[in-house]
Amino acid sequence: MARPGRVLLVVAAAVLGLRCCFVPSPESRPKVQVGINAATAALPWMLMAQEAQAKYDPILDQDGNQAKWGAIMVPLFTLVLPAAVMGGFTLYFLSDEFLWQDRPETERYMAYQDAMEDIPMMKGRKETFYGMVNMDDYEKGLHEAWEAAKPPGSTVTVKDKMKEMSTMNAPLFNIYRKQYDEKKAMIAAGELSA
């Protein structure tokens, strides 16, 4: 059993600790004179600014009057120019031209792809396996690997899975698959060499 002196010591320490944790009441704080501190800090700067204005006069017109370029330049560079730039960017951002290189659905991207396909050296360049893998050999190897690894009793075939993937909402796969089928037809027709 703990001695009562220890319990009282812990309670007293907790009360003193809590008293130090809270902000004192407004009555217990010393009174501060409001306004004098701000004026005292600003006064030297206000006085020096008038002297600097009088001494430093960079641009005088022919009559000796100070040219007030700030009256034109400050609003121009802080209001008009940023508003024009941001407005132009907003219009560009909302147009079909914005990031057309990364958006295959835009008209400009499709026109660019058609123009590139007209160049014989560039034909089929966006296809995933172009120049690296023979697709027939790839599908044959995929079929063999699936037959070796598929669980017993499975009725899934590679051909069915490829057909299912062609109807999925996977735009890049569908684009490349369509290009591959077109290329395969062109090879069969003799328009393109394998």
Q: Which of 30-39, 49-58, 113-122 has maximum average pLDDT?
A: 113-122
Look at residue 23 and tell me whether its pLDDT is greater than 80: no
What does R_g of the chain's alpha carbons equal in angstroms? 39
Give tens-digit pLDDT for 52-100: 555 555 555 555 555 566 677 788 888 899 999 999 999 888 887 888 8
**Burial class of 87 by CB neighbour count within 10 A (0 to 12, 13 to 18, 19+):** exposed
Q: What is the average per-residue pLDDT within 42-50?
A: 65
The pTM for the full model equals: 0.31
Across the strands, what pairs with 194? Answer: none
Handedness of CA 155, 160, 146, 149 (dihedral sign): negative
Residue 142 CA to residue 149 CA, distance in Å, equals 10
End-to-end CA distance of the chain: 93
Residue 127 CA to residue 176 CA, distance in Å, equals 5
Query: Is the CB of residue 145 less than 8 Å from the CB of residue 97?
Result: no
Instruction: Give the range among 12-21, 75-84, 107-116, 142-151 with minimum mean pLDDT.
Output: 12-21
